A and B are shown apart, each in its own frame.
Chain A
Amino acid sequence: MRLVIDERRCKGCNLCTTVCPYHIFQEGRHLNERGIAIPVLDRPERCTNCRLRRLYGRQLCGACQLICPDQAIYWEEDDPYAAEKVVIEY
């Protein structure tokens, strides 16, 4: 699975940056054409749901998607699926 921020919906409130346990979301620095600084993803492959959703067969964590007031965060299927080695620092 791949974590995606929908740039057409994001209003740049940065709430996602406050809830992710891995701090994957970082405040954006550059304004897009709508004048909004979209948060940038710092090594999104660390996301629990990206890594383990298939294994558990259900949604994991998902705090960013829930708190996002603009329904701008979702996961896309990665095709083809390939296992990746990921280093997790807490």
Chain B
Amino acid sequence: MSTETFGKWYREDRLPHIFCTGCGNGTVMNCTIKAVDAMGWEIDDTIFVSGIGCSSRAPGYISTDSLHTTHGRALAFATGVKMANPDLHVVVFTGDGDLAAIGGNHFIHACRRNIDLTVICMNNMIYGMTGGQGSPCTPVGKISTTTPYGAAEPAFDLTELAVAAGANYAARWTSYHVAELIKAIRAGLETPGFSFIEALVQCPTAYGRRNKFRQVGEQVEYMRSHAMLLQKKRRLEEQGKDVPDDMFTVGEFVRRYRPALGVRK
């Protein structure tokens, strides 16, 4: 994790990127690159794949071969890349709308196949690129342009979904917990089979602004103060104590070694 090798992963000629001021996607990119760099992978044998949305613009700023595909289909393209050449390390950037809405089917099937991909989902709980419409991960009651009276539908818990669908590794952190996020991504990269890392990110422009987070820092502070470690939540439940409603769980949800697809034997 030296400073010198960090910069080489970015296409310096393309920065600054298009993300809004304070967007957490850039932080998740940093963490991913730190983890990939720490794995000792080379730029030329790593592939970044993404779909459509804010998160999916990330591979365009990374020096490796990268595939910016159609909306929701990143996992399908990544499956093709990985199966056709298992020597390549394939990392997928995706967002909550891309992965859970239009790409939901590809997501559960990639988990089921347990194909050797690492998927990093930047969950900003909103469709950011189209201007802030409700996504399957918008929490109940939150305001977006298509849920002007508050989101009425329950949100997906993507990490639990990955666990249930059969992923070998699943973890959730936020763009505030950078050190933990790097460790989780590293663990995901190391684990053969499907690894899913959900990174909750702040979206000050499309989400925070409509939901009482007036400054970038306020939403980051919310993520810091409302994150509850999975172990703590389980302990509270064992003790029969109440888990506060407004807390979300973070941590490593599963790490297992089921047979995986697309691993070079």
Whether A and B touch directly in their complex, counting CB atoms under 8 A apart, is answered as yes
Binding site for B on A (CB under 8 A): 8-9, 11-15, 17-19, 49, 53, 58-59, 62-63, 65-72, 74-75
> B220–A18 contact, CB under 8 A?
yes
- Minimum CB distance partner of B21 in chain A: A11
> B16–A8 contact, CB under 8 A?
yes
Closest Cβ of chain A to B114, distance in Å, is 30
Report the stretch among B2-10, B189-197, B241-249 that lies at the interface: B2-10
Q: Which B residues are CB-close (under 8 A) to A68?
A: 26-27, 30
A59 with B21: in contact, given A67-B27, A74-B7 (CB under 8 Å)? no
A71 with B30: in contact, given A14-B217, A66-B178 (CB under 8 Å)? yes
Instruction: Tell me what chain A mostly uses at the interface: helix, strand, loop, or mixed.
Output: loop
Extra pairs beyond A13-B204, A75-B3 (13, CB < 8 Å): A8-B16, A14-B215, A15-B220, A59-B3, A65-B30, A66-B27, A66-B179, A66-B182, A67-B178, A68-B26, A68-B27, A70-B17, A71-B29
Query: Cα distance A58–B26 when bound, in Å?
Result: 23
- Minimum CB distance partner of B5 in chain A: A59
**Count of A-B contacts judged by CB separation below 8 Å:** 83
Which bracket fits the contact residues of B? 20 to 34
- Minimum CB distance partner of B31 in chain A: A66
> A69–B27 contact, CB under 8 A?
yes
Query: Cα distance A71–B10 when bound, in Å?
Result: 9
Q: Which A residues are CB-close (under 8 A) to B3?
A: 49, 53, 59, 62, 65, 74-75
Query: Cα distance A81–B15 when bound, in Å?
Result: 30
> A9–B216 contact, CB under 8 A?
no
Closest Cβ of chain B to A67, distance in Å, is 5
> B22–A66 contact, CB under 8 A?
no
